[in-house]
Amino acid sequence: MLRKLLLKVLAFVALSLAAALPSQAFQIEAVMSPGGIKAWLVHDDEIPLIAMNFSFRGGSAFDPAGKEGTVNFITGMMDEGADDLDSAAFQKLRDRLSFKMSFEAGPDDFEGSFQTLSKNREQSFDLLRKVLTKPRFDADPQERVRRQFLLSVRDKDQDPEHIAGAAWMKLALPGDPYSRETDGTEASVAAITAGDLRGAHQRIFNRKTLQVAVVGDIDAKELALLLDRLFGDLPEGSEPPAQSASGFANGPILKTIDRDIPQSIIVFGGPGIRRDDPDFIPAYIMMEILGGSGLSSRLTNEIREKRGLTYGVGANLMALDRLGLVMGSLGTRNEKAAEALAVVKSELDRMAKDGPTAQELADAKTYLTGSYALRFDSNAAIASQLLGIQQQNLGIDYVATRNARVDAVTIDQVRQQARRLLHADALIVTVVGRPTGLTN
Amino acid sequence: MYARILGPLFACLVFTLAARPAVALDLDVSEFKLANGLDVVVIPDHRSAVVTHMMWYRVGAADEDRGKSGIAHFLEHLMFKGTPKHPPGDFSRLVRINGGVENAFTTQDYTAYFQRIAKERLPLVMELEADRMQNLVLTNENVLPELQVVMEERRERTDNSPSALLGEQIDSVLYAAHPYGKPVIGWMSEVAKLTRDDAVNFYRAHYEPANAILVVAGDVTPDEVRALAEKYYGGIPNPFPVPARVRTPEPVPIAERRVTLRDDRAATPYWQRSYLAPAEAKAPGREALALDLLADIIGGGTQSILYQKLVVEQQIAAYAAAWYSGDSLDYGSFGFYASPTPGVDPQKLEAAVDAIIADVLTKGVTQDQLDTARTRALADSAYVLDRQESLARMFGVALATGQTVRQVLDWDKDILQVTPRDLQDAARDVLELRASVTGLLLPASKGQVAGLPGGQPVAPDTTQN
């Protein structure tokens, strides 16, 4: 159908490594409801499913001090009763209708993902409306969910990868809201009240910051009416308050955290760039060559393929609303931790000094452009992509123009970004395990 | 609230669902066999111009020789090391610069390699896959570092994780004689001694067209795939007779077994019970379907019996669930897991689970419970349709574990035949303590605060490249 057409063209362009698509080929429709609510739609009735992804601004970075984990807590309460339905009544209906619903608290955004069978869509969306507008936050389910989140927090406190990542954020961004635990701490989760949840719900769930992407068996006219039904009762609301950044710590910093495990987990990185940086794409390509997916990146090649020091190593850009990070990680046996970290540093240096080769850049471009279509191979995947593009404010033509933007990047631009972003001598590093040869 | 904490496990259960016959629709699936014995399955999905190309070999960890645990998975890693025509790194680079993604995975019963790529590039990945089926070149120069990689993989997935170690211990006890008791990734003591020759011998004994299944899903027709498969795979000879899969059967289980792992690194206690169960392809009549539905009724989601009784009513568990896994050649497993609320004795939790099991054994399930579970299962199969890769995997797993395309396609009709009586019979057949292992993960006693329950549910025993 439409999507098939679109992706055929996409794939063709990707493989011809040529110019961008004409944007009209994509058939992403911008839909506006009678009540003024906007969404992007790809109408595709080939399979009887509808996928809807949506988000609000104001994620866990906005949790009140001492109540960290509040926004995350809401994600656990969304299927525990709404409006006239208590937890059990809601879940029984959900099981009968068999829709899929999940929520996620990111640092900046609160996201929802919803999928329903076409045949149940009226009833399924009716339940979603109740969830969005009138969650109950009843006491019994709240305590149950609290027990589960406390458990989760305690588990994460013993998980080497989580320990290394969380410690890195605290070290790199001391005092910044981003450095706090998204899921909260045992103390903060214990302190969250129903009033806190209601307050956060009222703050987050509003029409001002709502973004919606819909893919599947629904047309624009039907969607316009549905949008008002689902979201029309939400308050207009406002953008979350501005937060001030604390600034990055000055590297180099090395912190080891002792744990009795055979493999050390190493997290490394430093300041990066935001998604709205004009050089984001050259920087992204540079990081793809350095530490991207697959077996071909420089870090994988040097650390895994040549030396057998790790099962997995990677590094990439993490773009948050207020700031960006360059962040990477690997796991290696304790006695090789120093060697692995030394190779990471020398690879950062090498890339900063010389940039990629022309061949590496060409390969990265054909991979990134050619594989872009793979991100759009299901209703659920397309909805997720389209929401992400809206959240990053990239414009409705981004899908059509993205490959051309990648192809337009020059080697000088990539070199420049490598020099700008990679600083081995100022690296911030956390190591969890019993590494030999690495000390604070 | 549930899927979040159970994230890793849910992923595993979803995979299980997706990987068993579960398609309630008229998929126009074609299957045929090339003259050299290669089985081919074609699943049309014309929604986007992408294909999923998967080669499944009928060999896994349970086919390894004694003392060589981990060789099936190690060879999977080594299959990326090149041929005379495509030197080391060339395979992955070619897939990549053509916009494809690739990976591979090994289980007890099969080893599979796959690429997702634009449909125009299907000939390319077939050429590459056919080449490494026959012409793999292994040298110590590339084998030795990769052995270190596999050992790091074991440290990362297993040795760094108390819950993974518990799962490994439970399986090693559940199977007294059958090779499913060995972990797919292998015991470290044996992995460390694997050699280039071990890998070459394993390759030469198992990798040939007659021992493989090709699955192609995507924007292709059966005729296109047949022509391409003939061109790239049709000329590959079979250098050896397809090996018989001789595996020691389990003796009739006569003793309930217990495994307790005390580990300082465990944050919280975790309880699990695994029962030996029939494999999907070997289960009599509707038993496998019944076990699927039974697991869902007892422990699938927040309205299940376990969750309602233990988490909501008695509040002695933070979570509780059940599973049935039958996607294997010889045996499946059925089981329960739960995590006690802080301060609750795991024995009390176990007694409560046992009471629920006893209740199901004596009273069975209601028609209403069965209908709800069936509705959920049928809906899940519709969601599988949305993912081409899941579809391809579902058929690959079925064929690699002794099921047929017909069985997959008839699933939606067969499931309608299942009765409450079938579920009770299945429960009575499988839920016997003498066929079980009860596992407990405990934070070590020293200085331990009253534990919150936890532990990641045990990961599926699948290992990736």
pLDDT in tens, B24-67: 456 889 999 999 999 999 999 988 889 999 999 999 999 999 99
B227 and B328 in a single domain? The answer is no
Q: Which token pair is A316?
A: 């990439």
The neighbouring-strand residues paired with A29 are A41
- Whether B453 has a pLDDT exceeding 60, the answer reads no
B261 and B135 in a single domain? The answer is no
Cα–Cα distance measured from residue A251 to residue A270, given in angstroms and rounded to the nearest whole number: 8
**With pLDDT > 70 as the criterion, what percentage of chain B qualifies?**
90
Q: What is chain A's Cα-based Rg?
A: 23
Phi, psi of A237 (to 5 degrees): 70, -170
- Whether A59 has a pLDDT exceeding 60, the answer reads yes
B201 and B344 in a single domain? The answer is no
Residue at A395: amino acid letter: G
A5 vs B216, higher pLDDT: B216
Phi, psi of A141 (to 5 degrees): -60, -35
Longest Cα pair distance anywhere in chain B, in angstroms? 67
Residue B17: which pLDDT band, with cuts at 50, 70 and 90? very low
pLDDT tens digits for range B146-201: 999 999 999 999 999 999 999 999 999 999 999 999 999 999 999 999 999 999 99
Number of structural domains chain B divides into? 2
The count of CB pairs under 8 A between chains A and B is 231
Could you tell me if residue B101 is inside a domain? yes
Q: How far is A109 from chain B (nearest CA, A)?
A: 17
Chain A residues 61-100 within an 8 A CB cutoff of chain B: 75-80, 88, 91-92, 95-96, 98, 100
B52 and B199 in a single domain? The answer is yes
- Find the CATH number of the domain harbouring B420: 3.30.830.10
Tally of CB atoms within 10 A around A151: 24
Cα–Cα distance measured from residue A102 to residue A99, given in angstroms and rounded to the nearest whole number: 10
Strands of B255-394, DSSP E: 257-262, 270-278, 317-325, 331-340
Cα–Cα distance measured from residue A53 to residue B423, given in angstroms and rounded to the nearest whole number: 37
Q: Which residue from A76, A259, A367 is facing B97, i.e. has the nearest CB?
A: A367
Could you tell me if residue B6 is inside a domain? no
Residues of B catalogued as catalytic: 76
Cα–Cα distance measured from residue A151 to residue A149, given in angstroms and rounded to the nearest whole number: 5
DSSP string, A315-356: EEEEE-SS-EEEEEEEEEEGGGHHHHHHHHHHHHHHHHHH--
Sequence-distant (≥ 6) Cβ neighbours of residue B189 within 8 angstroms: none
Residue B287: which pLDDT band, with cuts at 50, 70 and 90? very high
Q: Which token pair is B330?
A: 């010889």
B277 and B205 in a single domain? The answer is no
Task: Quote the pLDDT of residue B368.
Answer: 96
Residue at B209: amino acid letter: P
Task: Quote the pLDDT of residue B428.
Answer: 98
Task: Quote the pLDDT of residue A217.
Answer: 94
Cα–Cα distance measured from residue B442 to residue B162, given in angstroms and rounded to the nearest whole number: 9
Task: Write down the ipTM of this complex.
Answer: 0.90
DSSP β-ladder status, A100-105 and A109-117: antiparallel
Q: Which token pair is B328?
A: 């294997």
**With pLDDT > 90 as the criterion, what percentage of chain B qualifies?**
85
Task: Quote the pLDDT of residue B195.
Answer: 98
Coil, strand or helix: which one is B344? coil
Could you tell me if residue B392 is inside a domain? no
Tally of CB atoms within 10 A around B230: 15
**Interchain contact B90–A (C-beta under 8 A):** no
Give CA separation, A74 vs A138, A185, A300, B351, in Å.
Answer: 12, 15, 38, 33
Cβ separation A263–B159 shorter than 8 A:
yes
Q: Which token pair is A46?
A: 């080939």
The answer to whether A163 touches A157, Cβ cutoff 8 Å, is yes
B125 and B262 in a single domain? The answer is no
Which chain B residues are closer than 8 Å to A115 by Cβ? 383, 386
| Cis peptide preceding A252, ω within 30 of 0 | yes
Determine the structural domain holding residue B445 and report its residue range. Answer: 257-386+411-459
Cβ separation A147–B318 shorter than 8 A:
yes
3-state helix, strand, coil in chain A (%, to 5): 50, 20, 30
Residue at B334: amino acid letter: F
Could you tell me if residue B288 is inside a domain? yes
pLDDT tens digits for range B60-71: 999 999 999 999
Coil, strand or helix: which one is B137? coil
Q: How far is A130 from chain B (nearest CA, A)?
A: 16
Mean pLDDT of the residues in chain B? 90
- Helix axes of A398-407 and A379-391: crossing angle, nearest 10 degrees: 70
Instruction: Choose one of B216, B232, B248: the last residue of a domain.
Output: B232
Considering only alpha carbons, which residue of chain A is nearest residue B25?
A47
DSSP β-ladder status, A38-43 and A29-32: antiparallel
The neighbouring-strand residues paired with B339 are B319
3-state helix, strand, coil in chain B (%, to 5): 45, 20, 35
Strands of B177-300, DSSP E: 212-218, 257-262, 270-278
Mean pLDDT of the residues in chain A? 92
Considering only alpha carbons, which residue of chain A is nearest residue B339?
A151
Q: How far is A1 from chain B (nearest CA, A)?
A: 7
Strands of A205-281, DSSP E: 211-216, 253-258, 263-271
Cα–Cα distance measured from residue A333 to residue B142, given in angstroms and rounded to the nearest whole number: 20
B198 and B281 in a single domain? The answer is no
Chain A residues 101-120 within an 8 A CB cutoff of chain B: 102, 115, 117
Instruction: Choose one of B232, B265, B297: the last residue of a domain.
Output: B232
Cβ separation B149–A304 shorter than 8 A:
yes
Phi, psi of B39 (to 5 degrees): -80, 140
Cβ separation A373–B101 shorter than 8 A:
no
Which one of B10, B26, B47, B139 makes the best mutation probe of the A interface by having the most chain A beta carbons within 10 Å? Answer: B47
Chain B residues 102-161 within an 8 A CB cutoff of chain A: 102, 116-121, 144-153, 155-157, 159-160
**Interchain contact B94–A (C-beta under 8 A):** no
Tell me the average pLDDT across A55-64: 96
Which chain B residues are closer than 8 Å to A80 by Cβ? 1
**Torsion angle of the four alpha carbons B121, B126, B128, B132, in this order, in degrees rounded to the nearest 10:** 160
Task: Quote the pLDDT of residue A24.
Answer: 30
B212 and B85 in a single domain? The answer is yes
Q: Which token pair is A302?
A: 């040097």
Which chain A residues are closer than 8 Å to B452 by Cβ? 147, 150-151, 154
Least confident of A67-71, A144-148, B456-460: B456-460
Which one of A117, A124, A263 makes the best mutation probe of the B interface by having the most chain B beta carbons within 10 Å? Answer: A263
Backbone CA torsion sign across B339, B344, B346, B352 = negative
B296 and B217 in a single domain? The answer is no
Q: How far is A147 from chain B (nearest CA, A)?
A: 6
Tell me, yes or no, if the pTM score tops 0.80.
yes
The answer to whether A175 touches A354, Cβ cutoff 8 Å, is no
B201 and B298 in a single domain? The answer is no
pLDDT tens digits for range B210-229: 999 999 999 999 999 999 99
Cα–Cα distance measured from residue A295 to residue B124, given in angstroms and rounded to the nearest whole number: 18
Least confident of A55-59, B105-109, B168-172, B381-385: B381-385
Chain A residues 306-325 within an 8 A CB cutoff of chain B: 306-312
The answer to whether A349 touches A427, Cβ cutoff 8 Å, is no
Cα–Cα distance measured from residue B33 to residue B214, given in angstroms and rounded to the nearest whole number: 10
Cβ separation A152–B454 shorter than 8 A:
yes
- Whether A410 has a pLDDT exceeding 60, the answer reads yes
- Whether A386 has a pLDDT exceeding 80, the answer reads yes
Cα–Cα distance measured from residue A314 to residue A344, given in angstroms and rounded to the nearest whole number: 10
Cβ separation B46–A4 shorter than 8 A:
yes
B305 and B451 in a single domain? The answer is yes
Q: How far is B243 from chain A (nearest CA, A)?
A: 31
Could you tell me if residue B1 is inside a domain? no
**Torsion angle of the four alpha carbons A74, A78, A84, A90, in this order, in degrees rounded to the nearest 10:** -150
Which chain B residues are closer than 8 Å to A378 by Cβ? 386-388
Q: Which residue from B48, B120, B454 is facing A151, i.e. has the nearest CB?
A: B454
Chain B residues 369-398 within an 8 A CB cutoff of chain A: 372, 375-376, 378-380, 382-383, 385-389
Tell me the average pLDDT across A337-352: 98
The neighbouring-strand residues paired with B53 are B115, B216
Domains of chain A by range and CATH?
Answer: 33-231 (3.30.830.10), 253-433 (3.30.830.10)
Residue A45: which pLDDT band, with cuts at 50, 70 and 90? confident
Task: Quote the pLDDT of residue B3.
Answer: 33
Task: Quote the pLDDT of residue A295.
Answer: 80
pLDDT tens digits for range A209-248: 999 999 999 999 999 999 999 999 999 999 999 998 789 9
Q: How far is B153 from chain A (nearest CA, A)?
A: 5
Task: Quote the pLDDT of residue B445.
Answer: 62
Residue A377: which pLDDT band, with cuts at 50, 70 and 90? confident
Chain B residues 168-227 within an 8 A CB cutoff of chain A: 219
Which chain A residues are closer than 8 Å to B302 by Cβ? 79, 91
B356 and B440 in a single domain? The answer is yes
Q: Angle at the Cα of B98 (from B95 to B101), degrees rounded to 5?
A: 45
Least confident of A327-331, A435-439, B134-138: A435-439
**DSSP secondary structure letter of residue B311:** I
Could you tell me if residue B190 is inside a domain? yes
Cα–Cα distance measured from residue B36 to residue B236, given in angstroms and rounded to the nearest whole number: 7
Cβ separation B93–A363 shorter than 8 A:
yes
Could you tell me if residue B2 is inside a domain? no
Sequence-distant (≥ 6) Cβ neighbours of residue A221 within 8 angstroms: none
Cα–Cα distance measured from residue B183 to residue B108, given in angstroms and rounded to the nearest whole number: 8
- Whether A311 has a pLDDT exceeding 50, the answer reads yes
Name the nearest CA neighbour of B286 among B425, B432, B435: B425
The neighbouring-strand residues paired with B248 are none
Considering only alpha carbons, which residue of chain B is nearest residue A306?
B145
Question: Listing from the earlier edge strand, what are the strands of the sheet with A49-57?
Answer: A29-32, A38-43, A211-216, A49-57, A109-117, A100-105
Element (H, E) at B42: strand B39-44
Cβ separation A377–B116 shorter than 8 A:
yes
pLDDT tens digits for range B189-211: 999 999 999 999 999 999 999 99
Q: Which residue from B156, B311, B452 is facing A311, i.e. has the nearest CB?
A: B156
Sequence-distant (≥ 6) Cβ neighbours of residue A395 within 8 angstroms: A389
Could you tell me if residue B339 is inside a domain? yes
Sequence-distant (≥ 6) Cβ neighbours of residue A199 within 8 angstroms: none
Give CA separation, A324 vs A173, A202, A321, A415, B273, in Å.
Answer: 11, 28, 8, 19, 45
